[in-house]
A and B are shown apart, each in its own frame.
Chain A
Amino acid sequence: MTLAIRSRPPGGAAVRRGRLPGGAVARRVAGHLVRGLVMVWVVATISFVIIREIPGDPVAGQYESLIQKGMSPEQAERAAAVLYGFLPTGSLWEQYVGYMGSLLHLDLGQSLSTPGVPVTTLIGAAARWTVLPVLAGTLLSFLLGVVMGVYAAIKRSGRLGDVLALSGSLLHGVPVYVIGLLLTAIFATLWPIMPSGGPVEIEAVPGLNPGYVGSLAHHAVLPVVTYTLASYGGWILAMKSNVVAVLGDDFILAAELRGLRRGVVFRYLARNAILPLFTVLALSIGMLFGGSIFIEEIFNYPGLGLLLVNSISTRDYALMGGTFLVITVGIVVANIAADLLYTAIDPRVRSGGSA
């Protein structure tokens, strides 16, 4: 990972830039969308195959047990289809087409562990507990990492630079759950100034009252800090190597020779070093979504990750498939957004080759 992050933006963009004159951006967007849709399709197929291939075939099992309870085959078929989003009978191909069809209608079936509730409702409720902390963590770690990265690059031969770079490598290397567990051990067990879990105090009355909001914020501190620390390492390492690379560029030397003020030189530096970081943004968001499983499990935060783990332990396969799909879509969308943002910001990509 450390190595991958150091690399410059993907070469494909640079190559294509030369050939496409006007509609480069539009074509870029279209390409992303197609690739994103293919990804989603692949993952949907994987989740279909897995639900089908689970030992004991839960869909067929459900169908059989409904018939044994005295339902007619048609009723049982319909009930099972409501639960899983596809008919338990017919050829594999028909089942697959049925599943894909219901996905197109955003129908992910119904939860088995909380009967009668559509999977989409459960996922919708969980999503904000994942998305908000992930966004907050991404923003915070970006700010922290960029500032520290500039310092680490400028002081790279001194002790401060060494310590900063080491802190980056270590945090980048350490798994998310170690950070989360250590923070909880310190701030919730040894020195209990933070709550050890849950999204909010149970006694707090939901609504826009200071008690509830304060409790929400209090409970969000440790998860958000964990997200921040987990992706801070990537930012500082990437920023440091970018700044070091830009420092060696001729235009910085020229600016210094022309006697420009330090502030101006710094602006030149920062602007050129920050741009490539938007490719790191995609990586970072993906990592945070993956890490959300651990963070939500540790802090008992009712987000998508916790939903996925719970659905696996309760064998709620419809919920499992749906959550897996939604997490993947989240990552794909975040990656596309990060890349479009990069396109919008980097004038070299934006102008499509005229630069």
Chain B
Amino acid sequence: MTAITDAGEAAIPRAAAGNTRATLRRNFWRGVWRVMRRKPSRMAGVVIIAVFAAMGAFGPLLYPAHLPRDNSALYAPPSWTHPFGTDFEGTDVLALVVTGARYVLLAGLATAIITVALGTSIGLFAGFRRGRWDTLLMRITDMNLAIPGLPLLLVLSTVWKFTSPLEMGLVLGLLGWGGVARAVRSQTLSLRERGFIEAARGLGLPTTHIIGRELLPGMAPYIAMNMLIAVTGAVYAQVGLFFLGVLPFDANNWGVMLNFAVFNGGALTTPAALPYLLAPLLAILLLTLGIVLLIDAMDEIFNPRLREE
């Protein structure tokens, strides 16, 4: 659908000299800059994502390993020292959100990598080979798509305690590759009929070359977008699992905060605990907003037809 338009570009530079490629790249970045500048909201998206990335990378370094408690200030209202108030132990809520980001984002990243790697390779293989392999793989994909993810996760959590972020990422990734595989397959099916792929096949180029050098570059932006979507999906799924309280609470995490706020803190009945509930919700909302804006920008960068309206 979107984003395949520069597949042609990817094929051209092969014949051309290195400096044509450099010019193309410069033009590309100039285009990116233009798209970004046209709507300030897109800049905001980039900034939001950058802030979250920094939070995940450096957040825990900003605070001591054990966040200080203050028994004299349980559920303190928002103030300058505690912008989002404190929790039931008197710990600063903002500090909890910032330090909790690493787990959430790390698991999200791990999930996205597994989802995209699995989905892309399965989709490419099925679309490129077609025939029996395609049928088999697509049946498995359908199954993967149709089994409801969250109930299955809940049931799995009784057998398998996926507590570390990487383990969590592995489980979520294994459950979630179906959508990417389907999308990549249909993209492959449409690309493989194009002239430049047929030419490559006619030239007798090896399959690895055709897939790695001709197909993938055209699909890269598309895959990148799917990756972003997979990150958000994974963030929601794990925060949700912790919120439901079916996983052991080892780490500080936005979902754990939500769980405590709702089921122990009484945030849905007493306004005092409300900031403790709203802070992680706000973090999730902001993350979503950032990713939505970023996807909007990517859409236009990789799909030039959208630029003129």
Instruction: Report the Cα distance A7→B155, complex, angstroms.
Output: 32
Residue B267 interfacial (CB < 8 Å):
yes
- Residues of A in contact (CB 8 Å), total 59
Cα separation A153 to B245 with both chains bound (whole Å): 41
Q: Does A120 contact B (CB under 8 A)?
A: no
Interface residues of A in 42-59 (CB under 8 A from B): 42-43, 46-47, 50, 53-55
Is residue A308 within 8 Å, beta carbon to beta carbon, of the partner chain?
yes
* Interface residue stretch chosen among B78-86, B165-173, B203-211, B287-295: B287-295
Whether a CB of chain A sits under 8 angstroms from the CB of B186 is yes
B71 part of interface (Cβ distance < 8 Å)? no
Q: Which residue of B269, B274, B284 is within 8 Å of A174 (Cβ)?
A: B284
Q: Choose one: A4, A47, A297, A324; the contact of B244 (CB below 8 Å).
A: A297
In the complex, the chain A residue whose C-beta lies closest to that of B222 is A3
Q: How far is the CA of A182 from the CA of B158 in the complex (A)?
A: 29
Docked-complex contact B154 and A185, CB < 8 angstroms = no
* Contact status B281-A184, CB under 8 Å: no
Cβ-defined contact, A175 with B240, below 8 A: yes
How many Å from the CB of B182 to the closest CB on chain A? 7
A-B contacts counted at CB < 8 A amount to: 142
A121 to B183: give the CA distance in the assembly, Å.
41
Chain A residue with minimal CB distance to B39? Answer: A162
Cα A328 to Cα B269 with chains together (Å): 33
A327: chain B residues at CB < 8 Å are 148, 151
B229 interface residue, CB < 8 Å from A? yes
**Would you give the shortest CB distance from A183 to chain B, in whole angstroms?**
10
Q: Which residues of B contact A46 (CB under 8 A)?
A: 147, 152, 155
A169 touches B239 (CB 8 A): no
Asked whether any CB of chain B lies closer than 8 Å to the CB of A293, the reply is yes
B245: which of A175, A313, A323, A335 is its contact (CB, 8 Å)? A313
| A173 and B240 contact, Cβ closer than 8 Å, known pairs A178-B281, A189-B268 | no
Whether B274 pairs with A50 at a CB distance below 8 angstroms is no
Cβ B147 vs Cβ A320 within 8 A: no
In the complex, whether B157 has a CB less than 8 A from a CB of chain A is yes
Q: Is the CB of A293 within 8 A of B150?
A: yes
Q: How far is the CB of A138 from chain B (nearest CB, A)?
A: 16
A325-354: contact bitstring with B at CB < 8 Å (1 yes, 0 no)?
001100110010000000000000000000
Which residues from chain A contact B114 at a C-beta distance below 8 Å?
none
- From B154, B158, B186, B225, A54 is in contact (CB under 8 Å) with B158
Q: A327-B148, A331-B146 are in contact. Are A294 and B240 (CB under 8 A)?
A: yes
Q: CB < 8 Å: which of B156, B222, B229, B236 contacts A2?
A: B229
Q: Are B147 and A1 in contact (CB under 8 A)?
A: no
Interface string of B242-258 (1 = CB under 8 A from A): 01111000000000001
**With contacts A46-B152, A166-B292, A181-B277 known, is A312 near B236, CB below 8 A?**
no
B226 at the A/B interface (Cβ < 8 Å)? Answer: yes
Q: Is the CB of B156 within 8 A of A3?
A: no
Q: Counting CB contacts under 8 A, is B285 at the interface?
A: yes
Neighbour of A196 across the interface among B151, B183, B268, CB < 8 A: B268
- Whether the Cβ atoms of A294 and B244 lie closer than 8 Å is yes
CB <8 Å contact, B246 and A312: yes
Would you call B149 an interface residue if the criterion is a C-beta within 8 Å of the partner chain's C-beta atoms? yes
A282 to B281, CA, bound (A): 28
Count of interface residues, chain B, beta-carbon cutoff 8 Å: 54
A70 at the interface (CB under 8 A from B): no
Interface string of B282-309 (1 = CB under 8 A from A): 0011001101100110000000000001
Q: Are B284 and A175 in contact (CB under 8 A)?
A: yes
Which of the listed residues B243, B245, B258, B270 has the most CB atoms from chain A within 10 Å of its own CB?
B243
State which residues 18-55 of A face B: CB under 8 Å: 35, 38-39, 42-43, 46-47, 50, 53-55
Q: Are B246 and A189 in contact (CB under 8 A)?
A: no
Complex partner residue of A39 from B146, B179, B288, B295, CB under 8 angstroms: B146
Interface string of B20-46 (1 = CB under 8 A from A): 000000000000000000000000000
**Among B151, B186, B277, which residue has its beta carbon within 8 angstroms of that of A185?**
B277
Contacts of A178 in B (CB 8 A): 281, 284-285
- Structural contact, A185 and B278, CB atoms closer than 8 A: yes
Q: Could you pull out 21 A-B pairs where Cβ atoms are within 8 angstroms?
A: A1-B233, A3-B183, A3-B225, A7-B186, A46-B155, A50-B156, A53-B159, A156-B309, A169-B296, A170-B292, A173-B291, A177-B258, A185-B278, A189-B267, A190-B274, A196-B269, A294-B244, A297-B244, A298-B262, A327-B148, A331-B148
Given A289-B148, A324-B154, 13 more A-B residue pairs with CB atoms under 8 Å apart are A4-B182, A4-B183, A7-B1, A39-B146, A42-B143, A46-B155, A169-B296, A173-B232, A174-B285, A181-B258, A293-B244, A309-B246, A320-B155
In order of increasing CB-CB distance, the 9 nearest A-B pairs are A175-B236, A173-B288, A169-B292, A290-B150, A157-B309, A196-B268, A324-B155, A327-B151, A184-B268
